[in-house]
Structure 1
Amino acid sequence: MPRETFSDLLAFLAVAREGSFTRAAAQLGVSQSALSHTIRALETRLGLRLLSRTTRSVSPTEAGERLLRTIGPRFEEIEVELAALSEFRDKPAGTVRITTAEHAANSVLWPKLAKVLPNYPDIKVEISVDYGLTDIVAQRFDAGVRLGDQVEKDMIAVRIAPDMRMAVVGAPAYFAKRPRPQKPQDLAAHDCINLRLPTHGSLMAWEFERKGQELKARVEGQWVFNSSSPMLRAVLAGFGLAYLPDDMVQRHVREGHLERVLESWCSTFPGYHLYYPTRRQSSRALSVVIDALRYRKRDEDS
């Protein structure tokens, strides 16, 4: 069937339902003469008269009545489905790929997104844990998470967490054998659990600051990991000291499983920020994720 026949059938349905060329033409946004020409052309192609015309009314013929009964509901179904598709389009949908460090994934992304995503079943979130400074454009990520001072200037950055303070901790069993360090230089005599950074393959320096004096300590120890969770496991088992985000160890300190040292020296860093390219138009799905993750002062009290 030629494509124009579908338009002609819609025109027939409008006239048959309205019982008037005038009202149907107004509904379709065409002239009455153009609509009359369309119906005549349809009747000619089908070889059937579909409408009976009088000076006062228009009504379907027997063939027209049958056509109205058979195709009318089908076109209504199509209209309903198209409306449903439009509604689907208006819902945020799609996959949002984020690269982040493990601590941010566990402490910020998971708890915040787990509350929101059930309301958006058509959004998928893919989180890639990586301590490297990933090029999100080259690696086709929609966004990345870094500490505030690590975000490149040509990116849009949205704060998703408060400033982060670090902590040096050890287990009571470890301190039963070793004296507590009083200054960062004392760490040279301790077993320290290291984190290897993939960016340059080097071990992460432990950064300290007190009264304007900044110090970076290169520590040594028997254990080296490339993520924070096994570091926490090792320090809880008494294998040495660890340099970890304060919020990651708070519960263990409170329960007496870990003890803080060098508190007056421990640094605070700009909190985590979600960032994405300025030249990329953000999708509605990414907008939902950004709004869910955005840091608000009340988050500290929740």
Structure 2
Amino acid sequence: MQRDLLDGVVAFTTVARRRSFTVAAADLGVTPAAVSHAVKQLEARLGVVLFARTTREVGLTEAGRRYLQGAQPAVEAMEAATVSARSLGEGPAGTVRLTTSRLALRMLLAPVITDFSRAYPDVRLEVVVDDASISIIEEGFDVGVRMGEMIAPDMVAVRVSQPFRFCVVGAPALLQRWGRPEHPRDLKAIPCLNVLQTTRRNNYRWEFEEDGREFEVAVDSAISVNDFDFLLKSAIDGLGLTYQPEPLAMPHVMTGRLERVLDPYLAGPTAWHLYYPSRLGASAPLRAFVEFMRGRLRVPGRA
């Protein structure tokens, strides 16, 4: 591949993601004029216009959207190959600052952090557990882990877990005493245990779906705690229904300590994602961490 073509493809995919020549230039460490020149050369080579430019915004043309579908995977594969090749020589060294929610730490990261540290002993991980949605740029983090729908659209998001859903579970004794809810609106008549959103000082609304329509229910919570494990234990003790990720709840359902309710109304799946500002501006330690996490996802049976 000729150098000018490669430069054009990289510039194009970066502008397409950032929707700005200026921001893309900052990501790539070049001037906006250099990015514009590279894109114009690519457009001339292809014989099509890739961007619809106005004074206020940059959008993709139909040709641009089609080209992005083919070019983006190639750029990602090239970056992954670079990380893989570097791992055979001198390993990356430095620090990766990571922000994660406590639920992501519990479900995903705890074993991964240990394995990554063994594989990359010269990379130091600084992990801050915070359930709030924060700006990793403003707070000085390299990467974050959150559910996909919580990530800002201007971030690079990489799925690193299998999809999972949230379900409603309760102890058999509780359901025998209060009855099984037939519809999410019935939750208002049954004791519930809910996650406290510490940043908003209110309880999490349980999400459901009916006839293709998503809706939320604000339950009356007997206990509100910002810890899913504590709520799960309280549900096993019969204190109320709780809204839990299936991977955490199912072992207790299989043993009979908990039972599922309202399954026909469960919302669609979510997944854990890594997110960070720019692929091309990522440090060697960060690229190694991202590729390590993606590799874990490709291993059968791992989430």
The TM-score with structure 2 as length reference comes to: 0.66
RMSD of aligned Cα (Å)? 2.1
Structure 2 residue aligned with 1:268: 268
In the alignment, is the contact (CA less than 8 A) between 1:194 and 1:204 conserved in 2?
Answer: yes
Give 1:1-302 correspondences, 5 Å limit: 90-278=90-278, 281-294=281-294, 298-299=298-299, 301-302=301-302
* Worse overlay, 171-180 or 289-298: 289-298
Distance change in 2, residues 1:295/1:255 (3 Å): farther
Distance change in 2, residues 1:248/1:183 (3 Å): same
Aligned length: 214
Q: How many Å apart are 1:280 and its aligned residue?
A: 7.6
CA deviation map 1:166-187 (0-9, x unaligned): 1100012322321011110100
The TM-score with structure 1 as length reference comes to: 0.66
Partner SS, residue 131 of structure 2: coil
Ranges in structure 2 where 5+ consecutive residues have no aligned partner = 1-88
- CA–CA distance in structure 2, aligned partners of residues 233 and 127 of structure 1: 26
Distance change in 2, residues 1:297/1:279 (3 Å): closer
- CA–CA distance in structure 2, aligned partners of residues 152 and 208 of structure 1: 23
- CA–CA distance in structure 2, aligned partners of residues 268 and 110 of structure 1: 25
- CA–CA distance in structure 2, aligned partners of residues 257 and 129 of structure 1: 30
Q: How many Å apart are 1:299 and its aligned residue?
A: 4.1
In the alignment, is the contact (CA less than 8 A) between 1:207 and 1:267 conserved in 2?
Answer: yes
- CA–CA distance in structure 2, aligned partners of residues 177 and 295 of structure 1: 47
Structure 1 residue aligned with 2:39: none
- CA–CA distance in structure 1, aligned partners of residues 196 and 236 of structure 2: 19
- CA–CA distance in structure 2, aligned partners of residues 94 and 156 of structure 1: 21
CA deviation map 1:233-257 (0-9, x unaligned): 2112111000011111111111111
- CA–CA distance in structure 2, aligned partners of residues 106 and 295 of structure 1: 19
Distance change in 2, residues 1:297/1:99 (3 Å): closer
In the alignment, is the contact (CA less than 8 A) between 1:170 and 1:241 conserved in 2?
Answer: yes
In the alignment, is the contact (CA less than 8 A) between 1:168 and 1:242 conserved in 2?
Answer: yes
Select the structure of larger CA radius of gyration: 1
CA deviation map 1:68-117 (0-9, x unaligned): xxxxxxxxxxxxxxxxxxxxx93222222211122211221123333332
CA deviation map 1:9-50 (0-9, x unaligned): xxxxxxxxxxxxxxxxxxxxxxxxxxxxxxxxxxxxxxxxxx
Letter of the aligned partner of 2:99 in structure 1?
A: T
Structure 2 residue aligned with 1:17: none
- CA–CA distance in structure 2, aligned partners of residues 174 and 270 of structure 1: 28
Q: How many Å apart are 1:221 and its aligned residue?
A: 2.1
Ranges in structure 1 where 5+ consecutive residues have no aligned partner = 1-88
In the alignment, is the contact (CA less than 8 A) between 1:158 and 1:273 conserved in 2?
Answer: yes
CA deviation map 1:249-295 (0-9, x unaligned): 11111111111000111112331110011288222211121112127
User: Sequence identity, in percent?
Assistant: 36
CA deviation map 1:124-146 (0-9, x unaligned): 22222222101111111111112
* Worse overlay, 93-102 or 176-185: 93-102
